[in-house]
Structure 1
């Protein structure tokens, strides 16, 4: 029985991820998710206390998905600079993934934009973005002093977020590739 529940939970989460990313959180109703997942509405509520809880699970899964992309890239890197650029590479990989209606930018920020200011989901997105900046800072701290590393991490984080927003508008990774090139130039003298 727990295997069936776990399977239903994952199908629900997968369906929610597709619909939330393609159509938005507010525009995606529970009926759409359960129909796409092939489960009864009660199955959704047996696995998630509310739509809000489902949104939080979706955001956590997106964060985990990005971390997986980053870790794969970072493991292949041999220097701090390469590991820092792996952050950009993971975002490029994210943009290059096949999406039902094309690439629409950062799924986390897209969802956060639809959530009320105090929603737990917005805090999950904030934690993700802070972790990305912390990863940048950790690698930069191996290349320069702590103060400069913190400043550069913030600048690179802004560069990354801005390029992600533009890539989402343009529907491809071009702006992220440009941002990676700029980041490589910025750290080349460290």
Structure 2
């Protein structure tokens, strides 16, 4: 019983640390957030913090890992199967930053890649892997739609998404996603029209 209680307490401490990291990294960035501040916000000692995460780099990687699934496009059939591939592609641009007086922070993976610029660091590598997977999933959805060059459209839409996220951060604007969505519609419809023309030949 004591072991079970101890395991729950350790798990609870880890969850509090990750919650505090998510809130602080989102609000003020990684480099501006110190381990002392994190331990205070999570209500744990620094010793406990370092027991769960041996370095700040480890904590940043864990923080990004908790976000990955929710920020990747759903593959065909895995989420709301009634949606057409076109609707699934456009849904990527429907994400809106939470309504808050805090500055818009955009994409956490882009933010980490800027704050941790060394491509050899695990956090930067994880951010890059996420961005590659993001484009790959868009390409797979485009392939399901019958688009002739799905990898090209996937990369175009991924670049458009990242550009909207970065511009929203710079301008502190929550409206760049809507503009990007209208551009995405034009790209997708042009690619679908091209696919229809090819199939008619």
TM over 0.5: yes
Could you tell me how far 1:62 is from its partner in structure 2? Answer: 2.2
Could you tell me how far 1:77 is from its partner in structure 2? Answer: 5.1
Aligned length: 183
Higher RCO (CA < 8 A, seq sep 6+):
1
**Aligned pair 1:52/2:53, yes or no?**
no
Measured on the aligned residues, the alpha-carbon RMSD in Å equals 2.1
Unaligned runs of 5+ in 1: none
Q: Deviations over 1:138-174 (max 9, x none)?
A: 111122345x111111111111111111111222331
State whether residues 84 and 135 of structure 1, in contact with CA within 8 Å, keep that contact through their aligned partners in structure 2: no
State which structure, 1 or 2, has the greater radius of gyration over its C-alpha atoms. Answer: 2
TM-score by length of 2: 0.83
State whether residues 77 and 86 of structure 1, in contact with CA within 8 Å, keep that contact through their aligned partners in structure 2: no
The equivalent position to 1:137 in structure 2, one of 132, 139, 155, is 139
Structure number with higher helix proportion? 1
TM-score by length of 1: 0.87
Off by >6 Å, runs of 4+ in structure 1: none
State whether residues 119 and 125 of structure 2, in contact with CA within 8 Å, keep that contact through their aligned partners in structure 1: no
Could you tell me how far 1:65 is from its partner in structure 2? Answer: 3.4
Task: Provide the residue aligned with 2:89 in structure 1.
Answer: 84
Q: Where in structure 2 are the equivalents of 1:142-153 lying within 5 Å?
A: 142-145=144-147, 148-153=149-154
- Cα distance 1:159–1:112, how it changes in 2: closer, same or farther (>3 A)? same
